[in-house]
């Protein structure tokens, strides 16, 4: 199986220049931030689906998901609570791979999860090699508290957009707020523009 690598070896840029405004370097710490308990879904019951504004439901079982073309990514992540973490290493499937061949009028997606968490994103923020559904962190299966079996990874937006325990995407022509967005967080959440709260 081919494994495309992205973002590795990008070390020239100074760390302070890689830190968005108002953020600090968490170093080796990897805080856990979950709005509820960690759900446990067995892999035999697990699936990933594309729903809503699509030309037909798409569904992958765990085995089917694991057989998709994979990518390794090394990226900086930025939480709205102000910690950032450099050079985090993940493996998984590009959202582009899931959307290949899907005909849609949608401009937005809502990522939905076991446990009920949701977050909304413009389709443009999860395509063109900018988002992945990852099952591996630092060479190990993704730990349940960090979203295992799979989470969304959208490193160019605040980390609340990287939905843990991901089960799929609902595509829509309309932007519908997710969990934190309903509580006043920004609808897009670009850390470089410090889009923390609605209206920023």
Ligand X SMILES: Nc1nc2c(c(=O)[nH]1)N[C@H]1C(S)=C(S)[C@@H](COP(=O)(O)O)O[C@H]1N2
Q: Which residues here bind ligand X, judged by CB under 6 A?
A: 31-35, 79, 113, 115, 117, 146-147, 159-160, 162-165
Q: Which C-beta is closer to Mo ion: that of 60 or that of 180?
A: 180
Residue 4: contacted member of Mo ion, ligand X, none (CB under 5 to 8 Å, by partner type): none
Of 35 and 43, nearer to Mo ion (C-beta) is 35
Nearer to Mo ion, 90 or 160 (CB): 160
Question: Nearest to ligand X by Cβ — which residue?
Answer: 117
| Cβ at position 165, least distance to Mo ion in Å | 15
The smaller minimum CB distance to ligand X, of residues 70 and 161, is found at 161
Q: How far is the CB of 34 from ligand X (least distance, A)?
A: 4
Give min distance, CB of 188 to ligand X, in A.
15
- Smallest distance from ligand X to CB 64, Å: 22
Comparison of 33 and 57: residue with beta carbon closer to ligand X: 33
Give which of Mo ion, ligand X, none residue 83 binds (C-beta under 5 to 8 Å, depending on kind): none
Interaction partner, residue 48 (ligand X, Mo ion, none; CB < 5-8 Å by kind): none
SS (H, E, C) the chain: CCEEEECCCCCCCCHHHHCCCCCEECCCCCCCCCCCCCCCCCCCCCEEEEEECCCCCEEEEHHHHHCCCEEEEEEEEECCCCEEEEEEEEEEEEHHHHHCCCCCCCCEEEEEECCCCEEEEEHHHCCCCCCEEEEEECCEECCHHHCCCCEEECCCCCHHHCCCCEEEEEEECCCCCCHHHHCCECCCCCHHHCCCECCC
């Amino acid at each position: 199986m081919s494994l495309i690598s992205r973002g590795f070896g990008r070390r020239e840029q100074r760390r302070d220049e890689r830190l968005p405004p108002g953020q600090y370097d968490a170093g080796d710490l990897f805080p856990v931030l979950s709005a509820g308990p960690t759900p446990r879904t067995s892999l035999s019951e697990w699936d990933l689906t594309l729903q809503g504004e699509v030309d037909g439901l798409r569904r992958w079982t765990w085995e089917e998901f694991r057989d998709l073309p994979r990518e390794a990514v090394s990226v900086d992540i930025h939480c709205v609570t102000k910690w950032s973490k450099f050079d985090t290493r993940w493996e998984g499937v590009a959202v582009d791979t899931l959307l290949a061949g899907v005909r849609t009028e949608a401009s937005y997606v809502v990522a939905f999860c076991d446990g009920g968490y949701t977050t909304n994103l413009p389709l443009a923020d999860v395509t063109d090699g900018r988002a992945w559904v990852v099952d591996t962190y630092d060479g190990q299966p993704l730990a349940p508290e960090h979203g295992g079996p799979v989470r969304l990874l959208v490193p160019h937006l605040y980390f609340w957009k990287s939905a843990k325990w991901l089960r799929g995407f609902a595509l829509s022509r309309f932007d519908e707020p997710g969990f934190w967005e309903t509580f006043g967080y920004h609808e897009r959440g670009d850390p470089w523009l410090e889009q923390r709260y609605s209206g920023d």
